[in-house]
Chains A and B, each alone.
Chain A
Amino acid sequence: GEDVEQSLFLSVREGDSSVINCTYTDSSSTYLYWYKQEPGAGLQLLTYIFSNMDMKQDQRLTVLLNKKDKHLSLRIADTQTGDSAIYFCAESPNFNKFYFGSGTKLNVKP
């Protein structure tokens, strides 16, 4: 259960909503995460969701989890130019190791 897949690029206009998708394989993962990486920086946790939840909302961020299809999505409402970054989906079955996707590069056009 180490495969986490994401689309590579997403381009949106400022003010639109962005939806970043991810599929994972390890059904035993207790938590699923979204991390953000800005140029030249380390990763920063944006949000996470328990595997027994379907949805979590945190200000402009909405996470949807479909356990049956092993699909996770991150919606960013009212996307701003400052949201331009690479977004990584990650799963962790036991907190000892995390499996990251290849990242989705979000480009927000003014």
Chain B
Amino acid sequence: DAGVTQSPTHLIKTRGQQVTLRCSPISGHKSVSWYQQVLGQGPQFIFQYYEKEERGRGNFPDRFSARQFPNYSSELNVNALLLGDSALYLCASSEGHPNTGELFFGEGSRLTVL
């Protein structure tokens, strides 16, 4: 069975550009979350979506946006990139209904902003 898949795995952008990251959850999972992991730190929560609705938002500026599609895949968009946006962006899926809340993570998209 396929796990959480993310694309692209690596990308380089310049300041001011925009980026779109994609995530496909585990089959049957209805919830997708996005996390930013800066080098040397733990993941920081950005968004959670469940059944195409935003269920949670972390402390990130409005330059960050996301959406979830009817097939439960998701995109994270970041506009007007800053050097500080360089990080590993992790997508995680979960079943979504109350349970142990286990998150299943993809391997991430590593974004470098020059």
Contact = CB atoms under 8 A, between A and B. Distances in A.
A42 B55 contact: no
Contact of A31 (B41, B45, B101): B101
Contacts of A96: 48, 55-56
Contact of A97 (B4, B58, B106): B58
Interface stretch (A13-21, A77-85, A100-108): A100-108
Interface residues of B, number: 26
Contact of B101 (A40, A44, A88, A95): A95
B54 to A, nearest CB: 10
Contact of A41 (B35, B40, B104, B107): B107
B1 interface: no
B101 A103 contact: no
Given A42-B4, A42-B90, A43-B90, A99 B45 contact: yes
Interface of A: 4, 30-31, 33, 35, 40-45, 48, 88, 90, 92, 95-103
Interface of B: 4, 33, 35, 40-45, 48, 55-56, 58, 90, 92, 94, 98, 100-108
8 contacts: A42-B105, A48-B102, A92-B101, A95-B94, A96-B48, A98-B101, A99-B45, A100-B42
